[in-house]
Structure 1
């Protein structure tokens, strides 16, 4: 376990090193340094030399015989998060950099571990009389942070006027108040004024946040204080990870050990391929209709080989994976296009197999074969088929040397044969359920279950492999939760139905 300093320049290293030393000593954790930029070899060597000057090891470090570490990392939020997880880092320390402000803000907001975003005006304070908390309401939190990182409680309050003004920002201004200054601007002015009046060189102001700093009302004011303070050092602290951030970090760390992370070009190429394959078109409709008719022929002939051939040429898997990508990316337009393609494919497959069944009735007595009855009994086990098949297919798409596995995943998913079964049974006018299964509706339920499980499994794998939105997306979260809830309701209903029938 460690405290990790992120540096991208000599100045950040010089400003951050005293604070890294202090935080490591107070927390009894190892001091590590991440150098931002794969080409910063000189800065890496300098960081290694500076770390040697920290001196004595912490008790935990001495017990494990684990030396301080320095490593270069790509200037990417996900790459940094993976390295922090690999090092089992407990605290990330960033020194404010005006030229890299946007990147630091993104990292501070998304980092899954406790983070300190510091504007350093000198060495860490040695007395509690130089440590400020921002106001009484956050004093308990600030005391815990200060005691943990500095070994002392804050001895002073900066004042709370600038915070109470922010309560007005959530209320839309009335006509009579429209000429008044923005409450955020007023709070910024008040905070900066208090800092200049009350703080001296060597002071420190703690500004605590929860797990999502950018969503809190005093975030903009704290950012202004971070960039414009003249006397005191300012430290913005995200207190601790939320359960979803912790889970997200664990998923990313696990995925990075299963396979090498995809680079940016590979992610863009895969996303582009899935988006293009999810577009509805006459070509897509023609191919899915041909696959459905071929599957219908195989079902009538009880020919597993023909049915497998129909599964291989059916293009329905791609728009379902496109919908999974849209959930990982938070891309609502792509989700709509993918669902439209799925709907068109479903209608085309059902319609073509229905017409094929009508043609069969003209020349042959309609018979519901064993292959058809075998798709009329959806069970809870079918959930595993779609979920595992979707995860396997999406993983194979992210690994070019595994493209041959896509055929097996398409066969396992078995999307077209149930639709063809439903179309044939409808054309044969077979509707009554028997002990052998539930005609028409049973195969359609099986298709819906497969589509939902493939979609959810795909979104999970693509998210883990790096194809995800850069910040939290409420629509994607709501939609994923809704689909999982719907899937659970169907599962409960199927279990109840199976118990009732058998």
Structure 2
């Protein structure tokens, strides 16, 4: 059976357990890097820059208290569990607050609707949980095995912690509360996966035995701890399953709507720039010269092709948006719909 020695246990506790004193080296390092990573991530999302967001992932220190929670659970050290959980929660709230601050400063007119960094983090699915479980396993494995610790930067990039929280803060400022909750769910998914896989890896490597040999305080580990961790993962999987089904339905809806939209636009030589579906709403972008085709005729065409229960959001050249609700034959011109 795999195991670690006393030296490895001391190295892991020093790396994962942040000191209580706010001015201690580990505490100032954590909060300083977290604030900087939050600013970098928020700026990267606002600028729609993948490279900048990746830089924030590498700098972000949130993995430390999350894996620290797993180690504290294995050691059954209640005080460390509470401290690590509070650090994760406090750090998460700090990132959201910084994201909100930058959101109030920039306040984009389209409410981030065309931002790829935002759109990629507001539809968490089961595949995200699977990826997080694998990445969390690698992260815990790299901490146990000092000879492969150079893989940790890759783990930081693969597991998304600070960017989803930055997106949450930014979306709150523009009133997209449902999408903000979805990006927060992505963060929660990654946290649950890291804690679950970290707990298992640390148990497999016999951390408890080595910790007792080193003189560390080790409490009584009970089966309910593993059961509680497993329940959290299952609870996270429920909304992710719903998200997976929603994404699949939206893709099918967009595929069905595209030929209908193309037939509607063809007589006036208008071009269909984009067709997508968001939570059951068909969103179509159209380009062309006046006169514009009638939005109500597209609404009627979608109804005839079995999409009467889908709302329609039609973006025409010049920035005008028409909103055509389901089960109606009328459309209203309005600003872009967000939420």
TM range, smaller chain: 0.5 to 0.7
Q: Contact conserved, 2:75 with 2:221, CA < 8 A, in 1?
A: no
Cα offset, 1:483, TM superposition: 2.1
- Inter-CA distance 278–325: structure 2 relative to 1 (3 Å threshold): farther
Determine if the alignment matches structure 1 residue 269 to structure 2 residue 11: yes
Q: TM-score, with normalisation over the residues of structure 1?
A: 0.44
1:319 has 2:65 as partner:
yes
Post-superposition offset of 1:357 = 1.0
CA 1:326–1:475 in 2, change beyond 3 Å: closer, same or farther?
same
CA contact (8 A) 2:12 2:143 kept: yes
Over residues 138-172 of structure 1, what are the superposed CA-to-partner deviations in whole Å (9 max), with x where a residue is unaligned? xxxxxxxxxxxxxxxxxxxxxxxxxxxxxxxxxxx
CA-based RMSD of the aligned residues comes to 2.5
- The one of 195, 199, 212 equivalent to 1:455 is 195
| 1:46-97 alpha-carbon deviations (Å, 9 max, x no partner) | xxxxxxxxxxxxxxxxxxxxxxxxxxxxxxxxxxxxxxxxxxxxxxxxxxxx
Q: TM-score, normalised by structure 2?
A: 0.64
Q: Does 1:367 align with 2:112?
A: yes
Say whether 1:391 aligns with 2:137. Answer: yes
Alignment of 1:466 onto 2:206:
yes
Deviation at 1:308, TM superposition (A): 0.5
**Residue 122 of structure 2: SS of its match in structure 1?**
coil
Matched, 1:291 2:37: yes
Change (3 A) 1:335 1:269: same
Deviations 1:276-318 (A, max 9, x none): 3798745423321221121111112221110110001101000
* In structure 2, distance between residues paired with 1:285 and 1:321: 17
For 1:429, the equivalent position in structure 2 comes to 175
Q: Kindly state the Cα deviation for residue 360 of structure 1 after the two structures are TM-superposed.
A: 1.1
Runs of at least 5 residues in structure 2 that lack an aligned partner in the other structure: 250-339
1:174-185 aligned at under 5 Å gives the runs none
Shift of 1:262: 2.4
Structure with more contact order per residue of length (Cα contacts < 8 Å, sep ≥ 6): 2
- CA shift, 1:267, in A, is 1.8
* Alpha-carbon separation, structure 1, partners of 2:182 and 2:30: 25
| Partner of residue 102 from structure 2, selected from 356, 365, 368 | 356
Q: In the aligned structure 2, how far is the partner of 1:305 from the partner of 1:483? A: 34
Q: Counterparts of 2:109 and 2:36 in 1: how far apart (Å)?
A: 21
Q: 1:278 to 1:482 in 2, by over 3 A?
A: farther
Alpha carbons 1:274, 1:321 under 8 Å: kept: yes
C-alpha distance in structure 2 between counterparts of 1:440 and 1:476, whole Å: 36
Change over 3 Å in CA distance of 1:360–1:479 after alignment to 2: same
Distance 1:304 1:343 in 2: 26
Structure index of larger Rg? 1
User: Which aligned pairs between 1:467-482 and structure 2 lie closer than 5 A?
Assistant: 467-468=207-208, 476-482=222-228
How much has 1:477 moved relative to structure 2? 3.1
Tell me, in whole angstroms, the C-alpha distance in 2 between the residues paired with 1:379 and 1:426: 21
In the alignment, the residues of structure 1 paired with residue 243 and residue 83 of structure 2 have an alpha-carbon distance, to the nearest angstrom, of 34
Task: Give deviations 1:360-397, integer Å, cap 9, x for gaps.
Answer: 12x87643301101100010111122211111112111
Distance (whole Å) between structure 1 residues aligned to residue 118 and residue 175 of structure 2: 14
Is the CA contact 2:62–2:161 (under 8 Å) kept in the aligned structure 1? yes
Query: When the two structures are aligned, how many residues end up with a matched partner?
Result: 237
Partner of 2:288: none
Q: Which residue of 2 aligns with 1:410?
A: 156
SS of the residue 1:376 aligns to: coil
Contact 1:285–1:348 (8 Å) recurs in 2? no
Q: Point out where structure 1 has 5 or more consecutive residues left out of the alignment.
A: 1-252, 432-437
Report SS of the residue matched to 1:302: coil
- Cα distance in 1 for partners of 2:162, 2:10 equals 29
Change (3 A) 1:330 1:340: same
1:323–1:455 CA contact under 8 A, matched in 2: yes
